[in-house]
Amino acid sequence: MTVRFDRAFTAFHITLGAVILVESVRTAIHAAQRGGHAVLLLASVEAIGAALFLWPRTLVAGGAAMIVTFAIAFFVHAVQGDFNLALLVFAAGTWLVVARRRDETMEPRRT
């Protein structure tokens, strides 16, 4: 059962990172075309974070960048009266992957 869970978790991690990367790049391109400099900056940081999130060595740094951008985006949307709850789901999924990665690197290897 552990092997199946590990595969499912890896699929979740890759899917989450890839979806966020694609959506962030799309948002950045759209913001660049419309002159939205703040959105362009935030989406670019999020895209870089998502790219880092996909690599094991930089997963924690990328996840931290993503969670910060999700929090900022959620706050901005909320101030505008648009509670984008998908951002909370993305943040929770990112936190889950980062927490598991940190647990894996902290626990001694089994032989």
R_g of the chain computed on alpha carbons? 15
CA–CA separation, 14 and 8 (whole Å) = 10
Q: Tally the domains of the chain.
A: 1
Question: How many angstroms from the chain centroid is the CA of residue 88?
Answer: 11
pLDDT, one tens digit per residue, over 1-15 is: 588 889 999 999 999
pTM of the model: 0.86
pLDDT at site 69: 97
- For residue 61, the enclosing domain spans 2-106
Q: Are 30 and 17 in contact (CB under 8 A)?
A: no
pLDDT, one tens digit per residue, over 60-99 is: 999 999 999 999 999 999 999 999 999 999 999 999 999 9
Alpha-carbon torsion (52, 41, 66, 108), positive or negative: positive
pLDDT, one tens digit per residue, over 7-56 is: 999 999 999 999 999 999 999 999 999 999 999 999 999 999 999 999 99
Could you tell me if residue 97 is inside a domain? yes
Could you tell me if residue 87 is inside a domain? yes
Could you tell me if residue 10 is inside a domain? yes
* Residue found by looking up tokens 């909370």 in the block: 88
